[in-house]
Amino acid sequence: MDYYLKADTKEELLQDLRQAGFQWYDYDDFAGTKEARDPKKHEVITVRRLGSCIYLEHLVEESAVFDQEGNLLKEAVVTSTFHANVRMDAPYSFSTDMGVPSQPQFGWA
C-alpha cells in the first residue's frame, strides 16, 4: 500500500511516521548506543515487515529557470508543507495521508 503524506509542520509529519514504526538513527561506534534523530531530506528507511519511507521535506512546485550559460534566472518555488512517501506491507491509517496526488513526486518503482 502506497501513502503520500503531507503536514503543515515537520513535527506533525515525523510524529505520524514514528507512530507507524519509522525511526532514524545515527550510530555511535565508540559508545555502542543509538539515538533517534530527524531524517535528512530524501533519506530512505526500510523496516523489515513494516515498509519503506522516503522523507521528502518540501516539494518543488515550480522548477528553477537557467539561461544557456547555466546562470540562474528564477529560483525554484517549493511548498511550505512537509512531505513523505511511504510503502507499507499492510494497510495503515496515517493521520497526514493526503491521498494520491495528481502528479506524485518520487513514486515507488
pLDDT band at 67 (very low <50, low <70, confident <90, very high): very high
Span 80-102, average pLDDT: 93
CA distance 13 to 2: 16
Angstrom CA distances, 97 to 15, 16, 38, 64, 103, stand at: 13, 9, 19, 28, 15
Average pLDDT, the chain: 89
User: Tens digit of pLDDT for each residue in 2-40?
Assistant: 999 999 999 999 999 999 999 988 766 555 567 788 999
